[in-house]
Amino acid sequence: MAAEGGGNGLALYALRRLINAVPLVLGVVVVNFVLIALAPGDPVMSLIGEYPAPAEYVERVRQDFGLDKSVPERLWLYLVNVAKGDLGFSFANRQPVLDLLLQRLGRTLVLMLSTVVVASTVGLFLGVIAARKPGSVTDRGATGFALVGYAVPEFWLGQILILVFAVLLGWLPAGGFRSVRVEYTGLAAGLDMFRHMLLPMAALSFRYMAITTRLTRASLLEVMSSQYIVAARGRGLSENTILWRHALRAAALPVVTVIGYNFGFIVAGSALVETVFGWPGIGRLMYDSIYTRDYPVLLGILLFVSMTVIVVNLITDAFYAVLDPRVRY
């Protein structure tokens, strides 16, 4: 981070980060391609199915999908096609990978962004409550919640939520992203999707809510004991003013870092959550692609995850300048 300041400095910094990200993404693509290409199992047999087929037919299918070439040849062709915006053709879904990802992308983004907003908001609130009175019942309760939340796996929590809120109580749907028996339009369709999203969002956000709670508490306790907070108390400022106008802004810096860092893990966690709840997004597509050995789709999803993490880290760096006026680019 350079001391340039202003929007031009931030734009130049973002441009430098994007240029530096090119070899990183290239390395990720190469490693993923080689690992997937060398993985056990034959995708051609997944395409053909369990029934026996003539050797000539198997070889023709292998040639049609370019699987008869060596790994270096296939890697070079894949890199050239990616540079052109072509992510390949899905073995299992019989359609271009890019079209398939775009069909699922919106649903996953809605789920992930909702998870980040809910986990960050609730985690910050609980962390502030815990830090205001260290050692109190509230503090111990928030700390206990954070410990439990950090230890509970998303897929297990998802099944418990389905059992309680969908099966026993019948308050929310157990899965899917919309009702199949009733066709909603307009605002009713949005509310219907929101009802279907509540349980997967809760299952996916629980762990990151706990992480944010613990980090906010620890960071806020450290800031509240710093010299400038002591000086603010000496000037007669109220505790609420010190907390919300001064301490929380400084304490939020490491929290923002962790939120950006955990976004990639949220994408990975969405594969399990979307599978449990039948949410038709990128995560569920990744699970299905692993099961069917649909390698082009897997490579496209991993590329999407890499680009998402890079963009989120750029946004996180931009938030630093908003939260801390000393940070300039």
Q: What is the pLDDT of residue 10?
A: 64
Distance in angstroms (rounded) separating the CA atoms of residues 70 and 57: 20
pLDDT band of residue 3 (cuts 50, 70, 90) is very low
Which tokens hold the place of 141? 């309760």
pLDDT at residue 73 greater than cutoff 70: yes
Q: What is the pLDDT of residue 87?
A: 84
pLDDT at residue 111 greater than cutoff 80: yes
Quote the percentage of the chain above a pLDDT of 90: 0
SS3 label, residue 89: strand
Q: Is the dihedral of CA 240, 243, 244, 245 positive or negative?
A: positive
Which tokens hold the place of 255? 């929290």
Q: Which domains does the chain have, with CATH numbers?
A: 99-323 (1.10.3720.10)
Enter the pTM of the model: 0.76
Alpha helical stretches, state H, the chain: 6-37, 43-48, 55-64, 71-83, 97-132, 137-151, 154-161, 187-224, 227-234, 239-241, 248-277, 282-292, 295-323
SS3 label, residue 234: helix
* Residues 6 or more apart in contact with residue 24 via CB below 8 angstroms: 306, 310
SS3 label, residue 185: coil
Cα separation values, 328 from 18, 169, 205, Å: 18, 52, 32
Gyration radius of the chain's alpha carbons: 24
Residues 237-253: tens digit of each pLDDT: 776 777 777 677 767 77
Question: Averaging pLDDT over each range in 26-35, 51-60, 175-184, 224-233, which range is the top one?
Answer: 26-35
**Structural contact between residues 116 and 297, judged by C-beta atoms closer than 8 angstroms:** no
Q: What is the pLDDT of residue 321?
A: 64
Distance in angstroms (rounded) separating the CA atoms of residues 306 and 311: 9
Cα separation values, 278 from 36, 256, 309, Å: 25, 30, 24
Q: What is the pLDDT of residue 268?
A: 72
Quote the percentage of the chain above a pLDDT of 70: 87
Residues 17-34: tens digit of each pLDDT: 778 778 888 888 888 888
Q: What is the pLDDT of residue 2?
A: 47
